[in-house]
Amino acid sequence: MSEIIIETKQLHKQFGSFTAVNQLDLELESGKIHGFIGPNGAGKTTTMSLLMGMIYPTKGTAFIKGHPIGSVPAKKLLGYSPEFPSFYSDMSCLEYMMYMGNLGQLTYQESFDKTIELIELMNLKEHLHKKVSKFSTGMKKKIGLAQAMIHDPEILLLDEPTANLDPTSRFEMIELMRKLVTERNLTVLISSHVLSELEMIIDNVTIINHGTLILSDRIENVQRMFSQGKIIVKTSNQELLVNHLKEKFSAIDIDLLEEELQISSSNPQIIKNQIIKFVYQNDLLLDYLYEQKVSLDSLYKEVIINKEKEGINQ
Amino acid sequence: MKHIFIKTIAKMFKIIPVILYMLVSLLCGFMLANTYRNYVKTNYATFNGLTSTLISTLTMIIFLIICGLLLITLVVMVGSGLFAGEEMDGTMRLLVAKPVSRFEIVIGKIAGLLCGSFIYLVSSIGLMMTIFVMLSTVDGEVMKIIVGYIPGYLLFGMILIFIFSALSCLLSLLFKKRIPTMIILLFVMVALFGMIPILRLFLKSGGSYDQYHMYLFDINYHIGLIFYQCMSLCGGMILSSSQMSNIGTFLGIYSFRKLDYDIISSSFQTNDYVLNQYLNGNSLLLIYLLIAVGCYLLCYLRMKKKDIVT
């Protein structure tokens, strides 16, 4: 069991009458990549800002490895890459990185060495003396990530690191994050709307909506929890198969979705065996048969969109 | 803190303001040298007359141009964007996200502004005096007397920097954009150098200035009295009414007085100027410094509680 590196206790943030974060209780393990998902305005950026000490909680508190949020020791452990990184218009890439390093309590030499190391890693060496404000969006995002890492933090908070990037830059960014996390054993809290990409790299998933925690667990557990033993099957005679399964198992739900059957059961293995046996005995054509694994997209749809619809209908 | 301090100073020394400052300082040097040359050409030139004329011109240049125009403009321009500018550009989030306390951010920025402004003040006076010496071939004894007044001018400049920086920084933290801060400070400058002296003349002629103790709110007079006090604090270099004749009445620190008949007949003077001591100069200076310190404290408290949002 990894140690809890980020812990929030009833963390609450109110902007006037708007509740941005609502009594959030969160525990994030170290050495893992945590996906932080939710619709726009769910409170992801506000939560990150609270953890970084940029804004103060209205109520509750949070700790970074035991240090209260906003304190210098807590900030020393954190690196933050905002959704829209900001730069000093008069500074070159080198000057900017050096300044960020110095603010991160590095000496000039350490700051310079670290800048060169990160800039090489980001493939931006030829742009070292150019003004950062003139960089492309993808390059700015890379510099945003590099400045977050310059003081060797243990935790990275990445707010929409792939937003507004073209597919090539997005892929590069994902690969870069994967590489950095593997090499440096970092804890990462990453928010993104591109769930298919997030799915490739995260270990844990945390979903919030309206500032309230909906779910936080390991992605495998969540997938298991939401798949509910769903089997998807398509044969040459769906009707025959449905009748047979209903006759054989009383405690299963069968839905016909377009041309495929979606079968929910507490014991999917037995159902799968029975389907194979039935197809073989009746000389049917089996197009496909598999146990459904919940994708982050469908999980999001299930948890957020369907719940919102239910709320509206009620 | 050290890096924020250096960054703030570095940001103040951009090409355009440096060139502008240098040009105006050079022009001031020319003006002073020209005053010297014009005076020595006259037939009635005396040592006392020369020093008095030079100090009178120097006082006017330093009070109105170097401190009043250049220094306050610089402090207002830089101070108004010190916090609001960074917040507007989004770079404040970067600063706050780094392992630096908010106290260090406030101290680093304010100290940078004060130090940078002081460098401007010293270099400006230095450049002006260099040009003056180069162009006037001034006598050593005259120069000694002029140099004696420089610490007083520097002290006044420093106090002005301290007060206006406090006001600019506080406003910069209260507003998210630098424009409202600049408008307010511009209004203060217009009031200080335009509206108040005119209003004072109007009120004095009607007698309401003294009757309603308007000198309590007359910041133009306050600044004048602080200037006078700075000069007397630095080696007793008290400016006489003739040396302050250019700005003395503008600031309201001197009042015009008709002399008695016997004095007129003996000195061939028909009038004199007397110092308006409505308020005590030292107490006034202390009050202004305390207000400035209060503003700096409020800056820190505001920054400590402020949410840095996107």
Residues A160 and A277 in one domain: no
Question: What's the domain range around A192?
Answer: 4-217
| Contacts A–B by Cβ distance under 8 A | 63
> How confident is the model at residue B46, as a pLDDT?
81
Per-residue b or e along B198-221, where b marks 16 or more CB atoms closer than 10 Å to that residue's CB: eebeebeeeeebeeeebbeebebb
Give tens-digit pLDDT for A42-69.
Answer: 888 899 999 999 999 999 999 998 899 9
Query: SS3 letters for A190-250?
Result: EECCCHHHHHHHCCEEEEEECCEEEEEEEHHHHHHHHHCCEEEEEECCHHHHHHHHHHHCC
> How confident is the model at residue A73, as a pLDDT?
92
Q: Does B266 touch chain A (CB under 8 A)?
A: no
Give tens-digit pLDDT for A14-52.
Answer: 888 888 888 888 888 888 888 888 888 888 889 999 999
A299 in a domain, yes or no?
no
Q: Which of B14, B98, B310 sits opposite A103 (nearest CB)?
A: B98
Residues A50 and A193 in one domain: yes
Which 8-state DSSP code applies to residue B82?
A: T
Question: Is the sign of the CA dihedral A67, A73, A75, A76 positive or negative?
Answer: negative
Q: Report how far residue A174's alpha carbon sits from residue A192's, in angstroms, rounded to the nearest whole number.
A: 11
* Segment A150-162 mean pLDDT: 88
**Does the pLDDT value for residue B301 go beyond 90?**
yes
- Which residues does chain B have within 8 Å of residue A105's beta carbon, measured at their own beta carbons? 99
Q: Which of B3, B89, B97 sits opposite A102 (nearest CB)?
A: B3
Kindly list the domain boundaries of chain B, sorted by start residue. 2-305
Residues A139 and A256 in one domain: no
B119 falls in which pLDDT band (50, 70, 90)?
very high
Q: Is the ipTM of this complex over 0.85?
A: no
A311 in a domain, yes or no?
no
- The CATH number for A274's domain is 3.30.70
Give tens-digit pLDDT for B217-270.
Answer: 888 888 888 888 888 887 655 666 666 666 666 777 776 666 565 555 555 555
Structural Rg of chain B based on CA atoms: 22
Residues A35 and A101 in one domain: yes
Which 8-state DSSP code applies to residue B139?
A: -
Residues A143 and A249 in one domain: no
Residues A40 and A138 in one domain: yes
* Segment B268-293 mean pLDDT: 78
- Terminal Cα-to-Cα distance of chain B (whole angstroms): 23
Comparing A112 with B275, the larger pLDDT belongs to: A112
In the structure, how many helices (H) and strands (E) does chain B have? Answer: 15, 2
- Which residues does chain B have within 8 Å of residue A131's beta carbon, measured at their own beta carbons? none
Residues A279 and A144 in one domain: no
> How confident is the model at residue B263, as a pLDDT?
53
Residues A175 and A257 in one domain: no
Q: Do A100 and B94 touch (CB under 8 A)?
A: yes
Contacts of B41 (CB under 8 A, 6+ apart): none
Q: Which of A73, A78, A86 sits opposite B93 (nearest CB)?
A: A86
Count of structural domains within chain A: 2
A261 in a domain, yes or no?
yes
> How confident is the model at residue A115, as a pLDDT?
92
Domain boundary among A217, A249, A271: A217
A314 falls in which pLDDT band (50, 70, 90)?
low
**Does the pLDDT value for residue A124 go beyond 80?**
yes
> How confident is the model at residue B239, as a pLDDT?
63
Residues A35 and A114 in one domain: yes
A140 in a domain, yes or no?
yes
- Which residues does chain B have within 8 Å of residue A21's beta carbon, measured at their own beta carbons? none
B280 falls in which pLDDT band (50, 70, 90)?
confident
Average pLDDT, chain B: 84
Q: Do A147 and B94 touch (CB under 8 A)?
A: yes
A155 in a domain, yes or no?
yes
Give tens-digit pLDDT for A181-226.
Answer: 778 788 889 888 777 777 778 888 888 888 888 888 887 777 777 7
Residues A262 and A196 in one domain: no
Which 8-state DSSP code applies to residue A131?
A: B
